[in-house]
C-alpha cells in the first residue's frame, strides 16, 4: 500500500495489463463484528447507502473485478464516481456516457496516459458499465496541476485564483494524518516538510472527491458508487469528508490482505480478504 500511495503522489503511475478475474477464495468480513458473511448479505446491506465506496489497489485486477461485481449487484439508479478522472474532464465522460464518443477519444480527451497511467484495461468494464446502465460517470478528482504544485511547493505557493478553487480543507484530522504518516514511514529522504506538503496534496484529493460526491448526492436520487484507492476510501479520507457535506448514509467495501484485516476494521464496513 505504501509504495502505491507514494508513486501516485509523485505522479509516476504505471501498471502492466492484467485480466479481471475474481478470486474464488475471497472472504467477506463484517468489519464491525469480524464475522464472515456472504457477498449477497453484504449487497443487501449496501442497498440503504446513498454512497458506496469500493476501494482498490490500483494495479490489482482482482480489486477491479470486485468493484465491478459490487456495482452490478446494486439495484436502482446508479452513478459511478472515479478517482482516476479529474474534474475539468467531466464533459468527456458525459460525451462517452451519451454515446457521442468512443473509448479512444475518451482516453485522449481525459489525458489518461499522462494523468493516470495505469492500464485502462483494468478500468474498461467499470466505465462501460456506466453506459450500459445509463449511469452518470463522475470525474471526482482535483486537477493534477494543483496537487502537484502543492506536493512540490506547499499551499503557500498557490495563487489567489488557485486557492479560490480549493474546497474546504481539514488538514488537522488526526486519524487521517496518522494513517498518512504510517503509509509514508520508511521512505528515505522524506523529511517533515515534504511529508506536510504531500499530506496537503492528499487532503486536496480527498476533499475534492468528497465535495464532488456530496454535490451529486444533494442533487440526485439513487446510489453513487465511488471507485478510488484504498487510502482514499478509508473512513477518514473521502467518506467522512463527504458525510460532513451531507453525503450520508454511506458504506465502505475495502479489499485487504489477511494480515491487514484487524488494522483495517475501523476504516470500513465490509472487508474482502484477498
For CA atoms 78, 28, 265, 194, give the dihedral sign: negative
User: What is the DSSP annotation of 17-73?
Assistant: -------TT-EEEETTT--EE-HHHHHHHHTT-SEEEEEE-TT-HHHHHHHHHHHHH
Report the pLDDT value the prediction gives residue 190, as an integer from 0 to 100: 83
Q: Which domain holds residue 263?
A: 2-11+27-273
pLDDT > 80? residue 233: yes
Report the pLDDT value the prediction gives residue 143, as an integer from 0 to 100: 96
**Residue 56: which pLDDT band, with cuts at 50, 70 and 90?**
very high
Percent of the chain with pLDDT over 70: 91
Report the pLDDT value the prediction gives residue 13, as an integer from 0 to 100: 32
- Does 219 reside within a domain? yes
Q: What is the mean pLDDT of residues 214-219?
A: 98
pLDDT tens digits for 5-42?
A: 544 554 333 333 333 444 445 799 999 999 999 999 99
- Does 167 reside within a domain? yes
Q: What is the mean pLDDT of residues 47-74?
A: 97
- Does 20 reside within a domain? no
Query: Any idea what the CATH number is for the domain that residue 258 is in?
Result: 3.40.50.11550
Average pLDDT, the chain: 91
- Does 17 reside within a domain? no
Domain count, the chain: 1
- Does 19 reside within a domain? no
What is the gyration radius of the CA atoms in the chain, in angstroms?
18
- Does 18 reside within a domain? no
More confident residue, 257 or 12: 257
Report the pLDDT value the prediction gives residue 221, as an integer from 0 to 100: 96
CA distances from 100 to 95, 131, 202 (A): 5, 11, 33
pLDDT > 50? residue 241: yes
Q: What is the mean pLDDT of residues 126-130?
A: 97
Report the pLDDT value the prediction gives residue 82, as an integer from 0 to 100: 98
| Predicted TM-score (pTM) above 0.85 | yes
- Does 16 reside within a domain? no
pLDDT tens digits for 135-194?
A: 999 999 999 999 999 999 999 999 999 999 999 999 999 999 999 999 888 777 788 899
pLDDT > 90? residue 74: yes
- Does 120 reside within a domain? yes
Report the pLDDT value the prediction gives residue 111, as an integer from 0 to 100: 98
Amino acid at each position: 500500500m505504501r509504495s502505491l500511495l507514494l508513486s501516485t503522489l509523485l505522479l509516476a503511475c504505471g501498471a502492466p495489463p492484467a485480466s479481471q478475474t475474481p478470486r474464488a477464495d475471497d472472504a467477506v468480513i463484517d468489519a464491525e463484528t469480524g464475522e464472515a458473511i456472504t457477498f449477497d448479505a453484504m449487497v443487501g446491506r449496501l442497498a440503504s447507502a446513498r454512497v458506496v465506496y469500493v476501494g482498490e489497489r490500483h494495479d490489482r485486477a482482482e480489486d477491479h473485478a470486485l468493484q465491478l461485481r459490487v456495482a452490478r449487484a446494486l439495484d436502482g439508479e446508479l452513478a459511478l464516481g472515479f478517482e482516476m478522472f479529474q474534474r475539468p474532464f467531466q464533459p468527456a465522460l458525459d460525451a462517452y456516457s451519451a454515446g457521442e464518443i468512443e473509448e479512444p477519444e475518451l482516453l485522449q480527451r481525459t489525458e489518461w496516459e499522462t494523468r493516470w497511467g495505469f492500464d485502462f484495461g483494468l478500468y474498461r468494464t467499470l466505465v462501460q458499465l456506466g453506459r450500459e446502465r445509463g449511469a452518470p460517470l463522475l470525474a471526482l478528482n482535483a486537477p493534477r496541476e494543483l496537487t502537484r504544485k502543492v506536493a512540490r511547493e506547499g499551499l503557500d505557493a498557490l495563487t489567489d485564483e488557485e486557492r479560490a478553487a480549493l474546497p474546504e480543507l481539514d488538514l488537522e484530522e488526526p486519524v487521517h494524518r496518522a494513517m498518512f504518516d504510517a503509509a509514508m514511514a520508511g521512505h528515505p529522504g522524506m523529511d517533515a516538510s515534504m511529508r506536510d506538503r504531500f499530506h496537503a496534496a492528499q487532503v486536496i484529493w480527498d476533499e475534492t472527491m468528497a465535495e464532488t460526491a456530496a454535490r451529486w448526492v444533494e442533487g440526485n436520487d439513487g446510489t453513487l458508487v465511488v471507485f478510488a484507492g484504498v487510502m482514499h476510501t478509508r473512513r477518514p479520507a473521502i467518506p467522512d469528508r463527504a458525510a460532513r457535506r451531507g453525503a450520508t448514509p454511506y458504506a465502505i467495501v475495502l479489499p485487504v490482505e489477511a494480515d491487514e484485516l484487524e488494522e483495517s476494521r475501523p476504516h470500513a464496513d465490509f472487508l474482502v480478504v484477498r
